[in-house]
Chains A and B, each alone.
Chain A
């Protein structure tokens, strides 16, 4: 027993089979504190948070919570005791109302009948506490991604949670939404709620965290009592080596135009009158807030969505794109934002994933031989250094390797334009670095690259020129040599 009022984790270890994923990890979280839990994918962050949230049992070590021994038997048990985990991908029931989601599993009843009035008013109380103007009767599917996340937090708060574990809460949020979330966290902190905050966006740690702990290969390698730590130092702790420059320098002198779009208009008004061109080997960024129409724009260029008017030229020839097939045929391909639902056949082999879009490239007739598929995919996997075999299923790969698999699928057919939508979302620092290196190589080999990212640092760091979008309207095209500041871009993007 101890008189500690928060959470104490002492020498917690966990193995899966012979693989030790956590090795005597100890740390503490005091009431009203935000602890940043950092580390590469596979460092053990999700294992330790699952243990604290009761969905995984640990092998050895102890935990205390508010001075009591803490050994949650299930996530439900952990929630009862006031500890909740909010996942990266929200787990809401989209067809149900906000209030029903908040109270799912513990619906309030009166005489055996669900009492919607009470639930709605209680839910709305918590939403107000978070400063959200959302009707509790609204269906979750009609809410924006960021609002959905707030619902999860509201849900945890109605459970009187005193410790919330946030797993990559900002990965799908734009700058203003992120700031909104931070405001809420600060407010809840004052009320004594503590947080374990997991994120790959190191730039935001300083803004929100009180302390930092870093895991590497299941070991706690460092802990800091304040968050004013240089990013380089944290990265060093995470990967165990120096990452000298986060963004590679990519030269491009070409003036040969590869892609040009003229007066492009979307079918649903998400963007209008877009004009730009991309040169051979150029990296062209598209910046803007969430909802500015970035993803919609690139989806239209690669044929995933229809356009109402506008022209697209490849190598100065006008092309007609009415399906992804047309775009692929003309050398325009995209690595989509959401790997899992738009990019990969998760339950199928890596070779199937690489070959499926490329039968026309490596087959003379429509007949396939397993050997040809295997050889073609093997080449693709080696090209990108994917850590995995051709026969493995795609869902057995780590996030970074999945992304590499997707890239190798598309570069195997030697495209002219490769579009990256959120290339490094949910990917750890090491893999991120190698994806930037790949972009550099591709650019040097003459492939034009379009990068869309919510991470402004990334767009600025990579692009030669960038297009600024604000609510579907093209604001400006900036050349990176102008040394434009992030602030300036934000100003234009929010205008």
Chain B
């Protein structure tokens, strides 16, 4: 038991404030709604945050190096539509189609990275352009139409529960989370991201390949958005070019609530996951209490302000 507590402490080090917030929210909704506190509902929440969470992993790395990726929602749609399109129009087997979709997502991320590090565009502008372009492309392939009628195994990824409770989509999320956590915390490349975010010139003079690393980070963000696109296809059993619209905002919100600083150099996977769950729990809980998505938007806005203000306040006190 003590080992578990120590391990939990280590994983969530530096995220106590937001972690506490998550617990408070959970207790609040448990008291407010009889349907909230159940294993079934928790699995539901996990299911609902899978797509958001996977994109947030990449966004964490991007924000740590002092960047931003506004194009994740559009890249998700692009990967999704490419997958559906090559399957539908060219008869490419679906599993290959999925790989092609993820590959195209990575290419979009790669382009973001090249624009930022070699053309020296501000990340905001480069990824804003990609947000527009990738969304446009996602619509071009099918002229804005949906694609459906996929083989059953695709839907099964999100429907069939292994070990009695967990679908493949969720397993992918959990696996990627653990992988990213390890890479960021225990790989030198991960540590280098913090140096780049802290001061890119210091990092360069310390012998870190800043440009190369930046390209890789944006590529990973695109790659993860691509995976998120496939998982969303599995959940919806349809390819929709409007998918992932404004997701970038929820993703950035989750990362920021999780304690990352848009100035770069600060942040982590544990915090981000807490941020993702705060958004997931809020949406789920407010749903159960019968609040509309509009109200949810207002509440999430307030939570962002509260979380970041608290963080700033804590820093001042130190």
Contacting residues of chain B (151-210) with chain A, CB-CB under 8 angstroms: 186-189, 191-192, 194-195, 198-199, 201-209
**CB contact list, A321-372 vs B, under 8 A:** 323-325, 328-329, 334, 336, 341-348, 352, 355-357, 359, 363, 366-369
Interchain CA distance A426-B317 in the complex, whole Å: 28
Asked if residues B187 and A346 are in contact (CB atoms below 8 Å), the reply is: no
Give which listed residue, B186, B194, B199, contacts A367 with CB less than 8 A.
Answer: B186
Q: Is the CB of B188 within 8 A of A323?
A: no
Q: Which of A325, A336, A346 contacts B207 (CB 8 A)?
A: A325
Known: A346-B198, A347-B266, A352-B191. A334 touches B205 (CB 8 A): yes
Q: Could you tell me if B207 and A324 are in contact, using CB atoms closer than 8 angstroms? A: yes
Query: What CA separation (Å) do A159 and B191 show in the bound complex?
Result: 49
Closest chain B CB from A409 CB (angstroms): 8
Is B202 within 8 A of A343, CB to CB? yes
Pick from B198, B201, B265: contact of A342, CB under 8 Å: B201
A343 to B205, CA, bound (A): 8
Closest B residue to A393 using CB positions: B318
In chain B, what residue has the closest Cβ to A302? B205
B186 contacts which of A325, A348, A369, A409 (Cβ < 8 Å)? A369
Whether B209 lies near A323 (C-beta < 8 A) is: yes
Distance of B158 from chain A, by nearest CB (Å): 34
Chain A residues near B189: list those with CB within 8 A. Answer: 366
The answer on a CB contact under 8 Å between A345 and B195 is yes
Inside 8 A of B202's CB, which chain A residues have their CB?
341-345
A341 to B199: give the CA distance in the assembly, Å: 7
- Provide the bound-state CA to CA distance between A328 and B207, in Å: 7
CA distance A302 to B207 in the complex (A): 10
Indicate whether A359 sits within 8 Å of B265 (C-beta atoms), given known contacts A328-B207, A345-B199: no
Contact A356 to B209, CB < 8 A, known contacts A347-B265, A368-B188: no
In Å, the complex CA distance between A341 and B265 comes to: 14
Cβ of A188 < 8 Å from any Cβ of B?
Answer: no
Q: How far is the CA of A359 from the CA of B195 in the complex (A)?
A: 13
Known contacts A346-B198, A348-B194: A324-B206 contact under CB 8 Å: yes
Inter-chain CA distance A325–B207, complex, in Å, is 4
Chain B hits for A352, CB < 8 A: 191, 194-195, 198
Hey, what's the 0/1 contact readout for A464-480 against B, CB within 8 Å counting as 1?
Answer: 00000000000000000
B131 CB to closest chain A CB (Å) equals 28
Complex interface residues of chain A between 57 and 80 (CB less than 8 A to chain B): none
Q: Give complex CA distance A304, B192 in Å.
A: 18
Chain A residue, CB-CB nearest to B203: A356
B residues within 8 A CB of A325?
A: 207-209
| CB < 8 Å A-B pair total | 73
CA distance A342 to B208 in the complex (A): 13
Chain A residues whose C-beta falls within 8 Å of the C-beta of B192 in the assembled complex: 356
A368 touching B187 by the CB < 8 A rule? Answer: yes
Task: Find out whether the CB atom of A345 lies under 8 angstroms from the CB atom of B187.
Answer: no
- The bracket for how many chain B residues form the interface is 20 to 34
Complex interface: chain B residues within 8 A of A369 (CB):
186
Instruction: State the CA gap A368–B198 with chains docked (Å).
Output: 19
Given the contacts A347-B198, A347-B265, A356 and B186 also touching, CB distance less than 8 Å: no
Q: What residues of B have a CB within 8 angstroms of the CB of A368 in the complex?
A: 186-188, 191
Least Cβ distance of A306 to chain B in Å?
13
Neighbouring B residues of A343 by C-beta, 8 Å: 202, 205
| B interface: dominant SS | helix
Complexed CA–CA distance, A344 and B199 (Å): 8
Shortest CB–CB separation between residue A422 and chain B, in angstroms?
15
- Closest partner residue, chain A, to B199 (CB atom): A345
The answer to whether B191 and A324 have CB atoms under 8 Å apart is no
Task: Assess the A359–B191 pair: CB atoms within 8 A.
Answer: yes
The CA-CA distance from A334 to B205 in the complex, in Å, is: 8
Q: How distant is the Cα of A367 from the Cα of B203 in the complex, in angstroms?
A: 19
Chain A hits for B198, CB < 8 A = 345-348, 352
**Docked-complex contact B206 and A348, CB < 8 angstroms:** no
B188 touches A345 (CB 8 A): no
- Residues of A contacting B201 in the complex (Cβ-Cβ under 8 angstroms): 341-342
The chain B residue sitting closest to A344, CB to CB, is B202
Given A357, A363, A367, which contacts B206 in the complex, CB threshold below 8 Å? A357
B186, B187, B204, B266: the one contacting A324 at CB < 8 Å is B204
Chain B, Cβ-Cβ closest to A343 = B202
Compute how far the CA of A367 lies from the CA of B184 in the bound complex, rounded to whole angstroms: 10
In the complex, which residues 204-218 of chain A have their Cβ closer than 8 Å to any Cβ of chain B? none
Q: In the complex the two chains form, is A324's CB within 8 Å of B188's CB?
A: no
Q: Which of B184-239 contact A (CB under 8 A)?
A: 186-189, 191-192, 194-195, 198-199, 201-209
Report B-chain residues with C-beta under 8 Å of the C-beta of A323.
204, 207, 209
* B209 engages A367 (CB within 8 Å): no
* Contact indicator B265/A345 (Cβ below 8 Å): yes
Give the complex CA separation of A325 and B192 in angstroms.
13
- Given A352-B191, A356-B191, A368-B191, A346 contacting B199 (CB threshold 8 A): yes
What residues on B are CB-neighbors of A355 within 8 Å?
Answer: 191
Chain B positions within 8 Å of A329 at CB level: 207
A370 → B minimal CB distance (Å): 8
For A346, the chain B residues whose CB sits under 8 A away are 198-199
| Cα separation A397 to B96 with both chains bound (whole Å) | 55
CA distance A304 to B204 in the complex (A): 8
Considering the chains assembled together, what is the distance between the CA atoms of A348 and B198 in angstroms?
A: 7
Bitwise interface map of B from 90 to 120 toward A, beta carbon under 8 Å scored 1, else 0: 0000000000000000000000000000000
Q: Are A356 and B205 in contact (CB under 8 A)?
A: no
- Name the distance in Å between A184's Cβ and chain B's nearest Cβ: 33
Give A328 to B206 CA distance when docked, in angstroms: 8
Given A325-B209, A345-B265, A359:B199 Cβ within 8 A: no
Q: CA separation between A347 and B202, bound complex, in Å?
A: 12
A367→B205 contact, CB < 8 A: no
From A334, A342, A369, name the one whose CB has the most chain B CB atoms within 10 angstroms: A342
For A302, A334, A366, the residue with the greatest tally of chain B CB atoms inside 10 Å of its CB is: A366
Among A356, A367, A409, max chain B CB count under 10 A is at: A356
- When chains A and B are docked, how far (Å) is the Cα of A348 from the Cα of B194? 9
A342 to B204, alpha carbons, bound, how many Å? 9
Closest to A327 in B: B207
Distance in angstroms between the alpha carbons of A161 and B194 in the assembled complex: 44
In the bound assembly, the distance between CA atoms of A367 and B189 in angstroms comes to: 9
Q: How far is the CA of A409 from the CA of B195 in the complex (A)?
A: 14
> CA–CA, A35 to B310, complex, Å?
45
| Cβ distance B154 to chain A, nearest Cβ, rounded Å | 36
4 tightest A-B contacts by CB?
A345-B198, A357-B206, A359-B188, A328-B207
Given pairs A324-B204, A359-B188, 6 additional interface contacts (CB within 8 A): A302-B205, A324-B207, A341-B199, A342-B201, A344-B202, A356-B206
Which of B's residues lie within 8 Å of A, judged by CB?
186-189, 191-192, 194-195, 198-199, 201-209, 265-266
Q: What residues of chain A have their CB less than 8 Å away from a CB belonging to chain B?
A: 302, 304, 323-325, 328-329, 334, 336, 341-348, 352, 355-357, 359, 363, 366-369, 409
26 of the cross-chain contacts (CB-CB < 8 Å) are A324-B205, A324-B207, A325-B207, A328-B207, A329-B207, A341-B199, A341-B201, A341-B202, A342-B201, A343-B205, A344-B199, A344-B202, A345-B195, A345-B265, A346-B198, A348-B265, A352-B195, A352-B198, A355-B191, A357-B206, A359-B188, A366-B187, A367-B186, A367-B187, A368-B186, A368-B187
